[in-house]
Each structure stands twice: as structure tokens, then as C-alpha cells.
């Protein structure tokens, strides 16, 4: 068999093979450097860094937190039939005192506020009734999440500077909770609520994700290579090349300053899967017997023949991931750029290290056709006329499924809603985990969604009486909506003080009373550092209002923020004291909503950019606009059909599943590139049928093997405890299988329809055919 190749490429690869020992030595150094760099990559799951640094909301939130710094907030919910019973209060008092001894942990509860109201008071037999009356006389405790009908809350502020310090603090807190969770405790349940526990779990699972699925994929790969190629030498060459490619790709993360995030585990998996598929294409061509004069010439010609399609296919995948740079979601953007750079390194390894190892290990060339190859040739003989016979049905069926998939994604106005967006941060945590169950349980009792309102006035005017009066009235207006749980701000301190002094937490409505209240607030801020969380005392120009509610009751993502903005804007227009005040909606809750709002734009923009770049780039390679459009049929079919699968199975769009479009388009284009490359070679046989048969017999088996590798690699993510990654693995694997189906059905059918002359599959004059 003659292996076509350009003389220039043959000379280049002849030189590469002559330098095989140097190349292998160089990659040993690069692999070591990659491993060293990979070990230095930090974890970063902070919500405030989920958007790119230049994003206006992210920038405003960082500036806001500079004025109002605070530690991570958490809550212990102590459930009891009577949360104000002597036994319950005594146990809670002991727990709070022990928690206060933990470095970096600042607890406060109903008991803390009672001690401030009654200096020197101790929780004891003489104080229980007074404490019960204190708790029952105000609604502030319930608004703050410190008291419910059957639970008592202890709020925690973790003043830590690193994940390691946070984990040590959480471990110490857990030790104090062990006795309270045992039989005989006055509490029926102890629940842990808040981002510290959620972040700690996510960081652990992010680290475990790669270590869990990579060995599984490795075992599968070993078995596949041995079954397909039946050569230990081939296996060693493949494994060493993959190890070097993945190590270099991960090391680039340290070079470019990337971090481990909830989606970063896709980087090594994608590089490994794409590299493996490329090695399958290269080695399959290497195994084909040829009429080359020497083994060296045969090796160089096989590499040269696969240079263009493999380069184009890896470029397609890299472009697909690089297109994610348009996303404003930082983990998605960084993962895309990281993967794209890793794939470029993998391309170098495929055409330098792998040939060098093939040569050094003396990997044998197949002298005769394997039984599998003979079987596949028979399959191709039957497939070519079958696709001709059913060409219109195959193409029409593919188009129908694509239209259904588009409707599943975008919806039908008035009839079908668009595909659901996953806006709940808890969706990143396994629903069976205790921290997720505890947080969802508390969410049913009290809203957890927080919007921060940052009011900026002229320096020195934050404690003006008329300004504070307008702020207090704004808080009452917001709280009048039943979807809002509580509004805390500078006047909340005054409400507590007024409750302690006068027995009522309602502040005077008369404007004449506010000069004294403003003076009282100034005195409290000077004497009580803990009361300064809502006023920046550095220049008295910034005030903070924390608005807590249940965002799902407002509607789609961002609806709660929009409600607050409208209310504030309306109130500003009515209050002269707020006319010159700059109001900004900021905070981590707003960032989370922004991320949800940008999921669909990330999907559509990256997909359109990927498709456009791939189309233009390969138009120069194949010189056929119609051919390029047809080459994208399987990928488009797979992507749109998988959205139909997501709709049926209830899988939503989230931070991982939005990657489907670019990932599948970039990866599955590999198959079509190789198919069309060999289709062009087959046109020398003169007929469409012969060209199709040549493409199928030459590229069909590698396409099948590559699809099995891709689908199995991503299906390994189904073992992840991270729901978005698990869902991404399932739907991506399904998309690869759908693309393979279209490769062998809709694509040949489209080629038959667009072909000017239908030629007899087994020779004969050029004439329209009937099967």
C-alpha cells in the first residue's frame, strides 16, 4: 500500500527520528518540570474570584470589601423542642465559651447579646426567665437567624487567612460538637450552615476528582491498547507520551498563574483523551504496510501523512477551548486557555516524543491485515450502499433531531421554557452530603441569599441625622416585602440599643428624634468595635446595608437584585438626603447571580466563535465551503441532540455543562477532519462510492477507537462527587457517541445528496445509481 506524503514533511520527520534520543531526553526534563509546576498550583474556589478581575461587579465588590472587611461567615443551628429551656441554654452557653477559645473563631448568639444588654449577667437558674423574656420581646433575634421556634443559632466569624487555617478552625469546631450530637444531648440535631464548610468540601473533592478518574481511565486505556494493537512496546510508547503531555500541560498552569477550580479537573482529562485519540490515528497509519524502501522511510511517510489532519484536529480542539476566553466566568475562561495551551504541548509530543519512542522501542509494523481490519472493510462495503439508499431519511432524521435539540435549549415562545439554568451554589455539592442537607434545611427556615447595598456619601456625612433617618426608612420599605427576611444596617445597632434601654426595638418615626439617635450611634461606634460592621469610620463616607431574603421567590437569576435596585432608586428620588448618595449593589450573592446570568452567553458566544474559527481555518485546508459545512454536521448533530437528552433527563445548564458546545465541537471535529482528509485522497479512485469506501476503511477504525476513548474518558467523570462534573461527563460521553452515529450515517448521506453524480459502488461508468 502506498502512503501519500509530501517530500518536505518526510524530510522533517526523518530528521526528527534521527534525533530520537535527544528528544526523549528533552521530554524527561520537561516532564519533571511539569510535575514540579503542577504541585505548586493553588486551590481557588472563592466566590468573589469566579468572575474575571475586570468585571464591574467583581471590581466593585472587591472595593466594597476593602471598606467593610470581614471573615468567612458560618452558622451553627442547634435544634431543640424548646430552644429557651434551661438545659438548652446551658449547653449553648458552654459551647459558645469553648468556641471562643479556638484561634480565629468569633462566636455570637442570643447569649452574647444578652450579656451586652445586662452587663455581668451569667446564664444560671436565676437568669433563665429573664433571658426568655429578653428573647421573646423582640423580633431582631429571628431576623438575625439566631432564634427560631425550635432552634437556636450561634453565628461564627472565621478570621482566617488561608484554607489551611480555615480547615483547622473547622476541625476544632467539629470536636466541640461531638458531645452535642451524642445520645442524651439536649439538642435533637446540630447543623452546620455556611460557605466555610461548603468551600472545604469543594476543595477536597476538586483535589480528589483527578486522582479518582485518571487511574480508571488509565486502566481502560491499557486494556484498549493491548486489545487493539496487541503490543507491549506500543503500550509503553503510548503511556510515556501521555504522561509527558499531561505533566507538561499541568505545569503550564503554574507558568500562566492558573488555579485549581471546580472545573479545572477537565484540563488533564481533555489533554489525555485528545492526545490518546491523536496517537491512535498516528499509530494506526504507522501499522499500515507500505511500499517504502526502508523502515525509516515508512515511519517518516506515515507521520507526514498524518501531520495535516492531526494538526488540524488538535487545532480544532484547542480553538474550541480557547474560545472560552470570551467568558466572564473566571474558572471557565482559565480552564479553556489552560486546556488550549496544554493541547499545543500535546501536539508537539505526538509528533516528536511518540515517534522517538516508537523508534527507540522498535515498535513493529503490521505485516498483514488484522482480522478486525478485514471485518471493518466488510462493514464499509455494506455501509456505503446503505447510506446511499437511505440518504434522504438519514439527513432528514438528523435535521429533525437537531431542531428538537435547539428547541430543548432555547425553548419555544409561549409553549416551552428554555433549558433550566442551575443558579443554586449548592448544586456544586453532592445532595447526600451533610453540609448540603444542613444548608438546605436552614434555607427552608430562613433565607440565605444576601445582597449588599453600598451607600456612598460625602466624607463625614455618614452619621448625619437626616441621612440615617432615610436609611432606616429604606430598610423598613425593603422589609415590608415578605420575600425579604431581614435588612441589617447602621440603624440595626440603634434598634438593639433602643430595645435594651426602652424595651422596644422600633425606632422613633419623628425626624426630630434622629439628631439624638445619630449622636448615640456615634458614641456606640467609638466604644464598641463590634458595631462598626455597617459604617466605615475611616472617613464616614460609606454605609453598608445587608439585605437577606429568598432569591428563588423573586424569579429568575438577578431578580432579587433588580427588586432592590428599583426600590432604592425610587426611595432615592423621594428622599432629599439620598439625592447625592451613590448606591451600588455588590456582594458575593450578587456575584453568584451574575455567574448564573452569564452561563448562556458563555455557551452561545464560545460556540459561535469556535465554529467560525474552525470553519475559516479549515476552509484554507480543504478549499471547499460545502465540504466544511458537511464536516460539521456530526458535531452539530451531537451538540444539539445532547441538549434534547439534557431536557429529557433533567440535567440543567451550569458552570460545567455550558462547556459542552465548545468541548464537543472541538473534539468531534477531529473525526470529520480525518474522514474528509482521506475522502479527498479517495477521490483519486474516481467515484463518490469509492472515495467513501476509502475514507471509511482508512479512517473509520481510528474514528471508532477515538470515540471509544473520548466517551470512556469523559464518562469516568460520572464517578465524581461534584454534581456538575458528573453531569458534564455523562452528557459529553453521550455527545461523542451521537457524533459517531452521525459520522457513519448522516455525513455519508449528505455527501451522497450533494454529489453531482452517484456512481456505482463497485465500478462501472459514471451514471446515476439505484440501489
Q: What is the pLDDT of residues 204-247, one digit of tens each?
A: 776 676 666 667 777 777 777 777 777 888 889 999 999 999 99
pLDDT at 21 over 80: yes
Q: Which of the listed ranges 373-377, 640-644, 757-761 does the model predict with the highest average pLDDT?
A: 640-644
Distance of CA 539 to the CA centre of its chain: 40
Higher pLDDT, 673 or 467: 467
Looking at residue 50, its pLDDT comes to 61
Comparing 2-11, 280-289, 411-420, 695-704, which segment has the lowest mean pLDDT?
2-11
Comparing 32-36, 134-138, 740-744, which segment has the lowest mean pLDDT?
134-138
Comparing 12-26, 250-264, 513-527, 619-633, which segment has the lowest mean pLDDT?
619-633
pLDDT at 45 over 70: no
Looking at residue 771, its pLDDT comes to 31
C-alpha cell at 360: 527507540
Buried/exposed 26-63: b ≥16 CB within 10 Å, e otherwise: ebeebbeebeebbeebebbbebebbbbeebebbebbee
Q: What is the pLDDT of residues 429-473, one digit of tens each?
A: 777 888 888 888 777 767 678 889 999 999 989 999 999 999 999
Comparing 120-124, 265-269, 293-297, 696-700, which segment has the lowest mean pLDDT?
120-124
pLDDT at 770 over 70: no
Q: Are 312 and 306 in contact (CB under 8 A)?
A: no
For the residues 23-49, what does the mean pLDDT come to? 85
Comparing 137-151, 696-710, 745-759, which segment has the lowest mean pLDDT?
745-759
Query: What percent of the chain has a predicted confidence (pLDDT) above 90?
Result: 27
C-alpha cell at 304: 507526514
Higher pLDDT, 365 or 386: 386
Nearest in space to 145 (alpha carbons), one of 386, 378, 485? 485
Q: Are 726 and 720 in contact (CB under 8 A)?
A: yes
Its pTM surpasses 0.75: no
pLDDT band for position 712 (50/70/90)?
confident
pLDDT band for position 769 (50/70/90)?
very low
With residue 259 as reference, give the H or E element that holds it.
none
For residue 176, give every residue at least 6 positions away whose Cβ sits within 8 Å of its Cβ, in sequence order, or none.
Answer: 95, 98, 99, 102
Query: What percent of the chain has a predicted confidence (pLDDT) above 70?
Result: 87
pLDDT at 645 over 70: yes
Higher pLDDT, 36 or 609: 36
Q: First and final CA of the chain: distance in angstroms?
A: 30
Looking at residue 154, its pLDDT comes to 93
pLDDT at 328 over 70: yes
pLDDT at 577 over 60: yes
Comparing 465-469, 537-541, 754-758, which segment has the lowest mean pLDDT?
754-758
Looking at residue 194, its pLDDT comes to 84
C-alpha cell at 288: 499500515
Higher pLDDT, 297 or 127: 297
CA atoms within 13 A on the CB side of 443: 17
The Cβ of residue 4 has, within 10 Å, a number of other Cβ atoms equal to 11
C-alpha cell at 363: 515498535
Looking at residue 115, its pLDDT comes to 80
Q: Give me the count of residues in the chain.
A: 771
With residue 725 as reference, give the H or E element that holds it.
helix 723-743
Looking at residue 215, its pLDDT comes to 75
Write down the mean pLDDT value for the chain.
83
For residue 29, give every residue at least 6 positions away whose Cβ sits within 8 Å of its Cβ, in sequence order, or none.
Answer: none
Higher pLDDT, 587 or 573: 573
C-alpha cell at 738: 451521537
Higher pLDDT, 191 or 685: 191
Comparing 312-316, 333-337, 423-427, which segment has the lowest mean pLDDT?
423-427
Nearest in space to 618 (alpha carbons), one of 572, 528, 680? 680
pLDDT band for position 763 (50/70/90)?
very low
State how far the Cα of 20 lies from the Cα of 27, in Å rounded to an integer.
11
Looking at residue 98, its pLDDT comes to 93
pLDDT at 553 over 60: yes
For the residues 377-396, what does the mean pLDDT come to? 90
Higher pLDDT, 448 or 494: 494
H helices present in 293-329, as ranges: 295-322
Q: Mapping DSSP to helix (H, G, I), strand (E, B) and coil, where does residue 418 land?
A: coil
Looking at residue 306, its pLDDT comes to 85
Q: What is the pLDDT of residues 716-736, one digit of tens each?
A: 778 777 788 888 888 989 998
Looking at residue 1, its pLDDT comes to 46
Looking at residue 445, its pLDDT comes to 67
Higher pLDDT, 308 or 770: 308
Amino acid at each position: 500500500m502506498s502512503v501519500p506524503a509530501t517530500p518536505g514533511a518526510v524530510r522533517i520527520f526523518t530528521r526528527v527520528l534521527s534525533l530520537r534520543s535527544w528528544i526523549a531526553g528533552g521530554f524527561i526534563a520537561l516532564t519533571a518540570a511539569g510535575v514540579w509546576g503542577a504541585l505548586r498550583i493553588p486551590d481557588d474556589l472563592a466566590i468573589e474570584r469566579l468572575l474575571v478581575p475586570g468585571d464591574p461587579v467583581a471590581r466593585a465588590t472587591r472595593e466594597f470589601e476593602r471598606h467593610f472587611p470581614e471573615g468567612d461567615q458560618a452558622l451553627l443551628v442547634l435544634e431543640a423542642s424548646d430552644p429557651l429551656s434551661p438545659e438548652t441554654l446551658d449547653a449553648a452557653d458552654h459551647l459558645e465559651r469553648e468556641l471562643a477559645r479556638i484561634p480565629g473563631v468569633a462566636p455570637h448568639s442570643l447569649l452574647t447579646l444578652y450579656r451586652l444588654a445586662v452587663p455581668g449577667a451569667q446564664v444560671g437558674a436565676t437568669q433563665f426567665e429573664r433571658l426568655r423574656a429578653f428573647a421573646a420581646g423582640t423580633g431582631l433575634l429571628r431576623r438575625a437567624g439566631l432564634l427560631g421556634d425550635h432552634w437556636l443559632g450561634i453565628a461564627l466569624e472565621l478570621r482566617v487567612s488561608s484554607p489551611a487555617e480555615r480547615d483547622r478552625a473547622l476541625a476544632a469546631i467539629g470536636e466541640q460538637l461531638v458531645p452535642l450530637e451524642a445520645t442524651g444531648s439536649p439538642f435533637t440535631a446540630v447543623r452546620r450552615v455556611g460557605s466555610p464548610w461548603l468551600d472545604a468540601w469543594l476543595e477536597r473533592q476538586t483535589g480528589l476528582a483527578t486522582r479518582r478518574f485518571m487511574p480508571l481511565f488509565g486502566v481502560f486505556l491499557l486494556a484498549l491498547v493491548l486489545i487493539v494493537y496487541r503490543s507491549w512496546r506500543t503500550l509503553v510508547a503510548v503511556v510515556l507520551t501521555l504522561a509527558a503531555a499531561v505533566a507538561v500541560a499541568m505545569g503550564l498552569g503554574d507558568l500562566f498563574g492558573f488555579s485549581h477550580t471546580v472545573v479545572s479537573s477537565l484540563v488533564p482529562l481533555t489533554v489525555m483523551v485528545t492526545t490518546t485519540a491523536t496517537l491512535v490515528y498516528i499509530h494506526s497509519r504507522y501499522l499500515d504496510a507500505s511500499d517504502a524502501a526502508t523502515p525509516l522511510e515508512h515511519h517518516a511517510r506515515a507521520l507526514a501523512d498524518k501531520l495535516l489532519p492531526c494538526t488540524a484536529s488538535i487545532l480544532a480542539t484547542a480553538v474550541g477551548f480557547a474560545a472560552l476566553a470570551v467568558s466572564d466566568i473566571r474558572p471557565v475562561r482559565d480552564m479553556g486557555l489552560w486546556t488550549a495551551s496544554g493541547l499545543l504541548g500535546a501536539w508537539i509530543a505526538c509528533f516528536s516524543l511518540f515517534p522517538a519512542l516508537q523508534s527507540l522501542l522498535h515498535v513493529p509494523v503490521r505485516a498483514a491485515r488484522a482480522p478486525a481490519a478485514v471485518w471493518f472493510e466488510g462493514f464499509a462495503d455494506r455501509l456505503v450502499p446503505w447510506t446511499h439508499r437511505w440518504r434522504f431519511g438519514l439527513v432528514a432524521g438528523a435535521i429533525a433531531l437537531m431542531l428538537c435539540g435547539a428547541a430543548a435549549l432555547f425553548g419555544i415562545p409561549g409553549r416551552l421554557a428554555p433549558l433550566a439554568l442551575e443558579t443554586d451554589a449548592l448544586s456544586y455539592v453532592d445532595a447526600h452530603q451533610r453540609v448540603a442537607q444542613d444548608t438546605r434545611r436552614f434555607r427552608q427556615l430562613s433565607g440565605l441569599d444576601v445582597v449588599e447595598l453600598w451607600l456612598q456619601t460625602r466624607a463625614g456625612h455618614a452619621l448625619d441625622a437626616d441621612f440615617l433617618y432615610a436609611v432606616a426608612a429604606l430598610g423598613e420599605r425593603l422589609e415590608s416585602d415578605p420575600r425579604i427576611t431581614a435588612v441589617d444596617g447602621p440603624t440595626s445597632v440603634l434598634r438593639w440599643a433602643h430595645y435594651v434601654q426602652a424595651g422596644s426595638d422600633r425606632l422613633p418615626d419623628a425626624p426630630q428624634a434622629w439628631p439624638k439617635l445619630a449622636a448615640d450611634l456615634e458614641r456606640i461606634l467609638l466604644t464598641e468595635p463590634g458595631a462598626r460592621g455597617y459604617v466605615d469610620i475611616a472617613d464616614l463616607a460609606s454605609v453598608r446595608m445587608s439585605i437577606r431574603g429568598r432569591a428563588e421567590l423573586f424569579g429568575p437569576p438577578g431578580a432579587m437584585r433588580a427588586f432592590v435596585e428599583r426600590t432604592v432608586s425610587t426611595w432615592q428620588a423621594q428622599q432629599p438626603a439620598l439625592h447625592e448618595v451613590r448606591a451600588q449593589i455588590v456582594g458575593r450573592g450578587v456575584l453568584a447571580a451574575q455567574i448564573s446570568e452569564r452561563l448562556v452567553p458563555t455557551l452561545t458566544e464560545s460556540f459561535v466563535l469556535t465554529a467560525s474559527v474552525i470553519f475559516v481555518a479549515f476552509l484554507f485546508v480543504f478549499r471547499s465551503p460545502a465540504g466544511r459545512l458537511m464536516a460539521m454536521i456530526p458535531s452539530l448533530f451531537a451538540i444539539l441532540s445532547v441538549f434534547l437528552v439534557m431536557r429529557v433527563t433533567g440535567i440543567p445548564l451550569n458552570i460545567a455543562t455550558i462547556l459542552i458546545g465548545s468541548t464537543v465541537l472541538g473534539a468531534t471535529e477531529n473525526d470529520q477532519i480525518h474522514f474528509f482528509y482521506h475522502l479527498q485522497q479517495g477521490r483519486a479512485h474516481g467515484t463518490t462510492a469509492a472515495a467513501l469506501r476509502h475514507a471509511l476503511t482508512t479512517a473509520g477504525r481510528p474514528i471508532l477507537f477515538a470515540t471509544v476513548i473520548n466517551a470512556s474518558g469523559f464518562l469516568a467523570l460520572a464517578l465524581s462527587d461534584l454534581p456538575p462534573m458528573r453531569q458534564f461527563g455523562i452528557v459529553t460521553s453521550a455527545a461523542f457517541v451521537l457524533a459517531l452515529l452521525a459520522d457513519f450515517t448522516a455525513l455519508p448521506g449528505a455527501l451522497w445528496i450533494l454529489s453531482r453524480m452517484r456512481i456505482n459502488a463497485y465500478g462501472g461508468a459514471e451514471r446515476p445509481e439505484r440501489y
